[in-house]
Amino acid sequence: MIIERSSNWREDFIERFEQDGPWDSWTLYNMSYEIEKMNLIPEFSGLQAPKFLTNIQLLPHQVEAAQTVIEKMNGKAILADEVGLGKTIEAGLIMKEYMIRGIVKKVLILVPASLQNQWVTELNIRFFIPAIAYRKNTPIESYDVVVMSMDTAKKSPHREKIYEQDYDMIIIDEAHKLKNHKTQIYEFVQSLKKKFCLLLTATPIQNDIFEIFYLVSLLKPGHLGNYETFQASFAATKNSIDGERYLKELVNQVMVRNRRQDTGIEWTTRKVETIPIQYTPEEREVYDMISELKNVSSVFSSSFTMVTLLKEMCSSKEATFLTLNKMLQKSITKEEHDYIEEILAKLIKLEINSKAEKVIEIIEKANDKVIIFTEYRATQAYLQWYLYTKGITSVLFNGKFSKSKRDWVKQLFRQRDQVLIATESGGEGINLQFCHHVINYDLPWNPMKLEQRIGRVHRLGQEEDVHVYNLAIENTIEQKILDLLESKIDVFEKVVGELDDILTRKA
Amino acid sequence: MYAEQVHDYLKTFFKETDCEIVSDEGHMLSVQLTIDMDKRIMNRPFYWQYIEATNSPANPARLNLITDRTKIQNQFLGEIIHFGSGRLHQIFKSTKELGSFVRMYQHGNEGSKMLTPYFCVNYKVSYYCDQTKEVLYSLGINLINGEIEDNFHEFVTKLALKPTIPEKSFCLQYIIKPKRALERLDSMIQNIIQNDDHSWAEEAKKRWDKELEVLDYFYEGVEEKPESYEIEKKGLEERFNPRIKVEIINGGLFFLQ
């Protein structure tokens, strides 16, 4: 084995010896030795970092996760704790440990743009790691720890600049954004050298089993076999219980997943209710007319547009109107044109939104702060107006808000307004433990989005039980979405592990 | 290191390096840095370049260091310093630079004495793979008869040592030149390493082989392996390849009774 010898001590000593000095202070000499002794890493195992981290209260499950990743997974892992258990802290702890041990120096952290500043602050303040946020023209080679937005990193000239660096460790937050192997960001990360690597996501499977395959293959290609063998062994035998158990075991070799209930901390409960809603006859008529569109003309047969329209109709007439109006512009034959106009006329006349009425009922009953999540901006605006007419104050939020605007909105919600109305993209990066009621006004296709939404409220620091209301209109597409959500949750639980309640549990 | 230890450490450090301690309140230390110390711990090379290029009067910084923030009302009064903070780390580094080479004489016991020369080197040996372990060795060699002793530092710190030769004493002329002594200690440390238990390296090699096998499986049957295969392979090597590093912390000449 090669023995590296560092420092110029030998040459310098000979020089001082020959020139008879200058000699250093005996006190400093002793202090130096004592410091080395104190900072010595006496064992291969165990963590050294916690004693340096005086600015942070580490929880037992976080320390354990870091230790597992370092000692059992050799520094490459998916950190998949449930939302709100401190995946960032675990990643910081692992990074710090490797830095102290002198194994890692240069680190690249890829995050969604909205989380960039939060990461930089956490690392600097809590971990004393001098990280910087990468902006255009940042001289990347002069910094050891760089936090960069994924969208920037994957593009030229930034990606080339990254390839030129020799990073010891790559950390990717919200790694489920890499579930699709055909995307630019996936290819980018794939061709990046990953000596040590952490992928952070609470939701390693969102829709299907291949997502976990692609995620693990980024981290450790071959761990789940190659594409053909994986498909043959796991995807084809959909119902084989043995296959699933085996896959779960393999996945667990590269994944740490803490659930709220195994953290030893007392968690408040989640009370999830699915609330069925009846349409008024007028609403039902419009909904049925929209479902008939595809029979009127082949132009409307694109299932994507249809699904969008039906979902919008379950949300609000405002959301529906925009899409229908666009279709009107595009319609060619008179027949198409007339049919859409007829729908529009009926739509405009609708006076009652049954779902919105239900919302009022829930808010009044809760008599407390409430968050409403919707998928549509038009619905968001409508709801604010509607709540206002009922004397309920609200504030709007969406993911495009800057950091300062986010903080401002959070402040308003905390101190002034009873309701926060957020769009889907507002799901990440805002924490609202002072609120205990979440209304899912529209249901997304992906159960993990629901989990992310609930996680804004049901996380460390929440002191009361959290109520979740999933609204679904009977005999509409929302019923189908509910069924699909259930089957996706089932796949997740079989391969990754149990989930906290997202939907009402079946008896 | 607790707050009090940090405080005492800083106080001693600045006293030893001739930085004036302007005030000391037990949990807060106000220090006037010397020019040399400013250059070492303040991270402002451009400032000093400018001062020196323009021949301007130098204005080394005065630091207000808060060692115990629980005792302080207004934390904007100074810089909070604690174990793990960057500043303290830098001061540790300076300690190392300023405490590298010593020449000490043993005092005590009246009367004339004959002092025997010793040469000591404090080594830090690090074993690296995807994990690390470090061991300190303090080796001292008698420059008259060539005997080598371990734990030399622990031994000398118990003696009364001063940088000047005591009265009525004289030092024996060394037979082994310090340069030659250094070589002997170096080969001694090599010996110690060679005889150490290296199952850690074998284990690392096993982990490496196992991960390599998994990687090869992924690309099995692929005729022309893509670049990412080579990149992954290189990543594995850098992660698991066992390495040993020998670093010298400090050392010096000791004249002992």
Q: What pLDDT shows up at residue A412?
A: 92
Q: What chain A residue is nearest to B236 in terms of C-alpha separation?
A: A195
Tell me if B231 and A193 make a contact (CB, 8 A cut-off).
Answer: yes
| Residue among A467, A478, A489 at smallest CA distance from A444 | A478
Predicted local confidence at residue A184, as pLDDT: 92
Position A403, amino acid = K
Asked if residue A60 has a cis previous peptide bond (ω within 30° of 0), the answer is no
Q: Looking at chain A, which residue has its C-alpha nearest residue B103?
A: A23
Rounded to the nearest angstrom, the gap between the alpha carbon of residue A231 and the centroid of all alpha carbons in its chain is 27
pLDDT tens track for A44-64: 888 988 988 877 889 989 999
B135-150: average pLDDT: 95
On the question of pLDDT at A241 being above 90, the answer is no
Chain A nearest CA to B55, separation (Å): 28
ipTM over 0.85? The verdict is yes
Q: CATH topology of A58-263 equal to that of A270-276+353-495? A: yes
Chain A CA closest to residue B218: A222
Residue A389 vs residue A449, higher pLDDT: A389
Q: Where are the domains of chain A?
A: 58-263, 270-276+353-495, 282-349
Choice between A93 and B83, residue whose per-residue pLDDT is larger = A93
Chain A touched by B45 (CB under 8 Å): no
Chain A environment of B136 (Cβ under 8 Å): 36-37, 40
Question: In Å, what is the CA distance from A332 to each residue of A295, B114, B195?
Answer: 15, 113, 88
Average pLDDT over residues A380-401: 92
On chain A, the residues whose CB falls within 8 A of the CB of B216 are: 222
- Residue pairs spanning A and B at CB distance below 8 A: 199
Is B122 in contact with A36 (Cβ distance < 8 A)?
yes
* Of A287 and A4, the one with more pLDDT: A287
Question: Does residue A410 have a pLDDT over 60?
Answer: yes
Residue A404 has pLDDT above 90, yes or no: no
Q: What is the pLDDT of residue B70?
A: 78
DSSP helix/strand/coil, B30: strand
- Name the band, by pLDDT with cuts 50, 70 and 90, for residue B82: confident
Enter the DSSP assignment of A232. I
B77, with CB counted inside 10 A (0-12, 13-18, 19+), is exposed
* Chain B interface, best mutation among A2, A15, A17, A170, by max B CB count within 10 A: A17
Give the integer Cα–Cα distance in Å for B67 and A64. 30
pLDDT of B201 above 60:
yes
Nearest CB neighbour to A27, from listed B12, B227, B249:
B12
**Superfamily in which the A58-263 domain is placed by CATH:** Tandem AAA-ATPase domain (3.40.50.10810)
Q: Is the pLDDT of residue A110 over 70?
A: yes
For domain A270-276+353-495, the question of CATH label 3.40.50.300 is answered with yes
Q: Which residues of A touch B209 (CB under 8 A)?
A: none
* Residue B67 backbone phi and psi in degrees, to 5: -95, -15
Question: Residues A442-477: pLDDT tens digits?
Answer: 999 888 888 888 888 888 778 889 999 999 999 999
Q: Match 């195994």 to its residue by tokens.
A: A262
Name the minimum distance, in Å, from the CA of B131 to any CA of chain A: 6
Residue-range domain boundaries for chain B = 3-98, 101-198+244-256, 204-241
Q: Which candidate from A6, A28, A221 shows the least CB-CB separation from B99?
A: A28
CA distance A487 to A446: 11
Mean pLDDT of chain A: 88
The minimal CB distance from A222 to the residues B17, B127, B215 is found for: B215
Is the per-residue pLDDT at A205 higher than 90?
no
* Cβ neighbour number for residue A476 with a 10 Å cutoff: 20
The beta-carbon neighbor of B102 closest among A9, A29, A225 is A29
Q: How far is CA B106 from the centre of its chain?
A: 24
Structure-token match 């279709």, residue found: A327
Angle at A352 between CA A349 and CA A356, to 5 degrees: 135
Give the B window 93-122 contacts with A, CB below 8 Å.
Answer: 95-96, 98-104, 122
State which residue of chain A sits closest to B131, comparing Cα positions.
Answer: A44
Q: What is the mean pLDDT of residues A336-355?
A: 90
If you measure CA to CA, which chain A residue comes closest to B105? A26
Q: Which position has the token pair 């620091």? A: A461
Cβ distance A29 to B124 less than 8 Å, yes or no, reads: no
Give the nearest partner residue to B232 out of A39, A53, A221, using CB atoms.
Answer: A221
| Chain B residue numbers touching A95 (CB-CB < 8 A) | none
- For residue A77, give how far its alpha carbon lies from the nearest alpha carbon of chain B (Å): 13
Structure tokens at A226: 């190659």
Question: Any residues with CB less than 8 A from the CB of A453 and at least 6 apart, and which?
Answer: A371, A373, A427, A438, A440
Q: Does the pLDDT at position A31 exceed 90?
A: yes
Q: Is the pLDDT of residue B111 over 80?
A: no
State whether B228 and A220 contact (CB < 8 Å).
no
Q: What average pLDDT does chain B have? A: 90
Q: Print the SS3 string covering A393-426.
A: CEEEECCCCCHHHHHHHHHHHHHCCCEEEEEHHH
Given a cut of 90, is residue A150 above it in pLDDT?
yes
A226: distance to nearest CA of chain B, Å? 5
Would you call A89 exposed, middle or buried from its count of C-beta atoms within 10 A (0-12, 13-18, 19+)? buried
Residue B247 has its nearest CB partner, among A7, A25, A52, at A7
Chain B residue whose CA is closest to A72: B207
DSSP A166: -
Q: What per-residue confidence (pLDDT) applies to B83?
A: 79
Dihedral in degrees, nearest 10, Cα atoms A242, A246, A249, A254 = -150
| pLDDT average, residue stretch A98-122 | 91
Residue numbers in B near A2 (CB within 8 A) = 243-244
pLDDT tens sequence across B242-253: 999 999 999 999
Contacts of A74 in chain B (CB under 8 A): 130, 207, 211, 239-240
Residue A507: pLDDT band (50, 70, 90) is very low
Q: Which of A101, A194, A43 is nearest to B238 (CA)?
A: A194
**CB-CB neighbors (< 8 A) of B244 in chain A:** 1-4
More confident residue, A195 or A6: A195
Lowest mean pLDDT across B2-11, B104-113, B179-188: B104-113
For residue B101, which residues of chain A lie inside 8 Å, CB to CB?
Answer: 12-13, 16, 23-24
**pLDDT the model gives residue A27:** 95
Q: Per 3-state DSSP, what percentage of chain A is helix, strand, and coil (rounded to 5)?
A: 50, 15, 35
